[in-house]
């Protein structure tokens, strides 16, 4: 019998599991690099790191940033990472993580939940649209450090 997937807040000792989850996004971050980046986050109330656990095995990751912005009447909740291990996809884990992001955002007074995704990730975009997200602009960026 399969263990049910549960969501829990990640803790600093989970850095290795987080680094492993990031490889499924094509990123190769070392554990010290994950720890360095995590140390830069502002607070546990503003930056949420959630793991989906299949028993003792992390199988999904979602990071959420709560951002009060001068030009919005309420803070926004921004999913900054969402990944599920390939072997665990299409089992409702990403849906559960997005639902958790919505709940955290609502609990903290946010009036919107947003995310960005690579233009090449057509399947991901279809999934996000099915989850109620809509295209609401175009994100532009430039490199500051070379």
Residue 140 pLDDT exceeds 90: no
**All structural domains of the chain with their residue ranges:** 5-130
Mind listing the pLDDT tens digit for each residue in 67-100?
999 999 999 999 999 999 999 999 999 999 999 9
Q: What was the pLDDT predicted at 1?
A: 42
Cα gap 86→24, rounded to integer Å: 7
- For residues 128 and 119, what is the distance between their CA atoms, to the nearest angstrom? 13
% residues pLDDT > 90 (the chain)? 66
pLDDT digits (tens, 9 = 90+) for 14-57: 999 999 999 888 888 899 999 998 888 878 889 999 999 999 99
- Determine the Cα angle at 62 with ends 127 and 23, to 5°: 90
Give the C-alpha separation, 6 to 56, whole Å: 10
Its pTM stands at: 0.89
pLDDT at 25: 85
Confidence check: pLDDT of 142 > 70: yes
Question: Class of the 5-130 domain?
Answer: alpha beta
Q: What are phi and psi of 144, to 5 degrees?
A: -95, -30
| Residue 77 to residue 55: CA distance in whole angstroms | 28
């Amino acid at each position: 019998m399969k263990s049910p997937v549960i969501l829990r807040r990640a803790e600093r000792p989970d850095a290795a599991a987080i680094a492993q989850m990031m490889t499924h996004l094509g990123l190769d971050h070392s554990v010290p690099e994950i720890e360095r980046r995590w140390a830069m986050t502002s607070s546990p109330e503003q930056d949420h790191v959630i793991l989906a656990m299949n028993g003792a095995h992390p199988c999904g990751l979602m990071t959420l940033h709560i951002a009060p912005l001068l030009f919005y009447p309420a803070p926004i909740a921004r999913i900054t990472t969402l990944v599920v291990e390939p072997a665990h996809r299409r089992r409702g884990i990403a849906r559960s993580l997005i639902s958790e992001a919505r709940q955290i955002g609502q609990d903290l007074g946010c009036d919107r939940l947003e995310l960005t995704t690579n233009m090449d990730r057509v399947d991901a975009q279809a999934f996000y649209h099915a989850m109620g997200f809509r295209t609401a602009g175009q994100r532009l960026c430039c490199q500051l450090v070379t």
